[in-house]
Chains A and B, each alone.
Chain A
């Protein structure tokens, strides 16, 4: 028989020591950094490092200046569209991996996730080559005689930003959806078939609802990095696709208004938090249904 101590190892000096590096890194560089950011967002910009006084002026500017409101709404819209496009196109891939891939599953999964580990900057750059005025797409259209001169519809548009971001974050959506599809009991689908459900009905009424937690988790992990993205709007987006990430960068760069930049960052964090809470609630109501 196992001894009484075997069910759980006792916390000792050793396991406390094991936590020390993690405690240091998380407290000093995650909690302190985010705390300072929030603090700075409520300060006046007086040119010094931490500003002066306490104020909500930065947030009032954000909420009332039409320029900032427009950029914030645009960021939310672009990130929202990217999230929808990515999740909807990723779903069939995850479905195939879970139900049909068989012995090829590992290979396809590896191929799908591989680009995630290659340089994000280079993937955006690749889209710049495809979409540029004298780029691949335009030279193909010219060569095929479909257009008589290069079209300006591709590069420096919000569409370019959406396509590039949807491409960059594709692997993020597939994994959580796959996980949720994998745990659906297969006898649930057999039962649906026994009760006379056609495969398509079973997909709509059993598979998709049961995979909603994964869909929502995938939506969150795509939305989070896209809403604050800086690289893609800068490389393939024009003046009409400035997003909040570029705005934050400008405050910490040229504009030298760190408190206002921090307020923008706090707004992004609150948005992300709100999206996560909504997703969690929606996820719970799906599993309760």
Chain B
């Protein structure tokens, strides 16, 4: 039997602190009462049934999925090229661009939102679905760049060098060797970028036109006490989906890590 550790107990308590509030959302989503308070009344699936018959929700979900897919694709494409250029090309310009691409993590979301609002108004695009996509590309870019930098840095240089010695051009090295080796990391970065976009609220808040994303729809419903149980059912579904996507992304990245080990030996 391991002896009792105060530090271990603290970490356990910390995890409880992190998860307890979040766990309340699924708990109350099955509770047969409009009020989110103890004691629980009874078990019901009615709030989940409400979700199915809600057209405004469905259209905002569709908007979120489309915006997320577009933003994640662009962010992953840019992230791949920026990270590759920085790690392999390692020119000053590449390092500068990589630094700029990671900058949005150091800018509060409100500022990204309003700065882009000014830009989209100047180019006469205005708040719209495309404007949100641009905003979400910026918000997701630091993540994709960081995930892919890590991956490209872990691929042994000797592999690319061997290919070059055998006469492969840069483009061939990239498409035939580096890209396949980084494929799981690219998929992982895409999923994380999608999730970032799917959950993002404040940038979309400033840039949305007439079609709200899912978080904007949730925000609009928070004002009505009567829709709170429905929001909790929706929230539970979103939480479950997020956890599944993060888990898949984590598995993909680990797969890459083990791949790096086998290729370097």
* Chain B hits for A122, CB < 8 A: 22, 25, 218, 235, 238-239
Q: Tell me whether B206 is interfacial, beta carbon within 8 Å.
A: yes
Of A62-70, A92-100, A181-189, A280-288, which binds chain B? Answer: A92-100
How many of chain A's residues have a CB under 8 angstroms from any CB in B? 87
CB of B232, distance to nearest CB on chain A (Å): 8
Known: A112-B15, A117-B242, A122-B239. A11 touches B119 (CB 8 A): no
CB of B36, distance to nearest CB on chain A (Å): 4
Q: What does the 1/0 interface line of B180-205 toward A look like (CB < 8 Å)? A: 00000000000010010001011001
Of B43-51, B52-60, B89-97, which binds chain A? Answer: B89-97
A8 and B21 within 8 A (CB):
no
Measured between alpha carbons, how far is A261 from B115 in the docked complex, in Å?
10
* Chain A hits for B94, CB < 8 A: 15, 19
Residue B104 contacts which of A30, A100, A220, A258 (CB distance < 8 angstroms)? A30
Q: Tell me whether B72 is interfacial, beta carbon within 8 Å.
A: no
Q: What does the 1/0 interface line of B218-262 toward A look like (CB < 8 Å)? A: 110010000000010001001100110110001000000000000
Q: What does the 1/0 interface line of A27-57 toward B look like (CB < 8 Å)? A: 0011111101100100000000110000000
Measured between alpha carbons, how far is A170 from B19 in the docked complex, in Å?
12
Which residue of chain B has its CB nearest to the CB of A258? Answer: B118
A143 and B7 within 8 A (CB):
no
Q: Tell me whether A242 is interfacial, beta carbon within 8 Å.
A: no
CB of B97, distance to nearest CB on chain A (Å): 5
B242 and A36 within 8 A (CB):
no
* Chain B hits for A272, CB < 8 A: 106-108
Of A151-159, A190-198, A206-214, A229-237, which binds chain B? Answer: A229-237
* Chain A hits for B5, CB < 8 A: 100
Interface of A, helix, strand, loop or mixed by DSSP: helix
Residue B38 contacts which of A11, A21, A136, A167 (CB distance < 8 angstroms)? A136
* Chain B hits for A112, CB < 8 A: 15, 18
Q: Tell me whether B65 is interfacial, beta carbon within 8 Å.
A: no
Q: Tell me whether A81 is interfacial, beta carbon within 8 Å.
A: no
Q: Tell me whether A148 is interfacial, beta carbon within 8 Å.
A: no
Known: A8-B90, A93-B14. A119 touches B106 (CB 8 A): no
Which residue of chain B has its CB nearest to the CB of A126? Answer: B21
* Chain B hits for A269, CB < 8 A: 107, 111
Known: A14-B174, A22-B85, A123-B21. A96 touches B8 (CB 8 A): yes
Q: Tell me whether A289 is interfacial, beta carbon within 8 Å.
A: no
Interface of B, helix, strand, loop or mixed by DSSP: helix
Which residue of chain B has its CB nearest to the CB of A101? Answer: B11
CB of B119, distance to nearest CB on chain A (Å): 5
CB of B45, distance to nearest CB on chain A (Å): 20
CB of A246, distance to nearest CB on chain B (Å): 9
B122 and A50 within 8 A (CB):
yes
Residue B37 contacts which of A128, A136, A225, A245 (CB distance < 8 angstroms)? A136
Which residue of chain A has its CB nearest to the CB of B25? Answer: A126
Q: Tell me whether A200 is interfacial, beta carbon within 8 Å.
A: no
Q: Tell me whether A201 is interfacial, beta carbon within 8 Å.
A: no
Give the one of B5, B37, B109, B243 with max A CB within 10 A. Answer: B37
Known: A9-B170, A96-B8, A119-B238. A276 touches B106 (CB 8 A): yes
A100 and B7 within 8 A (CB):
yes
Residue A129 contacts which of B24, B103, B160, B199 (CB distance < 8 angstroms)? B24
How many of chain B's residues have a CB under 8 angstroms from any CB in A? 88
* Chain B hits for A111, CB < 8 A: 15, 18
Residue B165 contacts which of A6, A140, A221, A261 (CB distance < 8 angstroms)? A6
Q: Tell me whether B69 is interfacial, beta carbon within 8 Å.
A: no
Q: Tell me whether B264 is interfacial, beta carbon within 8 Å.
A: no
Residue A143 contacts which of B11, B38, B109 (CB distance < 8 angstroms)? B38
Which residue of chain A has its CB nearest to the CB of B250? Answer: A110
In A262-289, which residues have CB < 8 Å from any B CB? Answer: 262, 265, 268-269, 272, 276
Q: Tell me whether A224 is interfacial, beta carbon within 8 Å.
A: yes
* Chain A hits for B238, CB < 8 A: 118-119, 122
A125 and B235 within 8 A (CB):
yes
B21 and A29 within 8 A (CB):
no
A36-B119, A265-B110 given. 17 additional CB < 8 A pairs? A15-B88, A15-B94, A18-B81, A19-B85, A21-B77, A34-B107, A36-B115, A36-B118, A96-B10, A121-B218, A134-B35, A134-B37, A224-B107, A227-B108, A228-B109, A229-B108, A231-B201
18 contacts across the A-B interface (CB closer than 8 A): A2-B165, A8-B90, A18-B85, A19-B89, A22-B82, A22-B101, A26-B100, A26-B103, A36-B119, A110-B250, A117-B192, A121-B218, A129-B21, A129-B36, A228-B108, A231-B201, A235-B222, A268-B111
Residues of A within 8 A of B (CB): 2-3, 5-6, 8-12, 14-15, 18-23, 25-26, 29-34, 36-37, 40, 49-50, 89, 92-93, 95-96, 100, 108, 110-112, 114-115, 117-123, 125-130, 132, 134-136, 138-140, 143, 167, 170, 220-221, 224-225, 227-231, 235, 245, 248-249, 252, 258, 261-262, 265, 268-269, 272, 276
The 3 closest A-B pairs by CB, nearest first: A228-B108, A33-B115, A22-B82
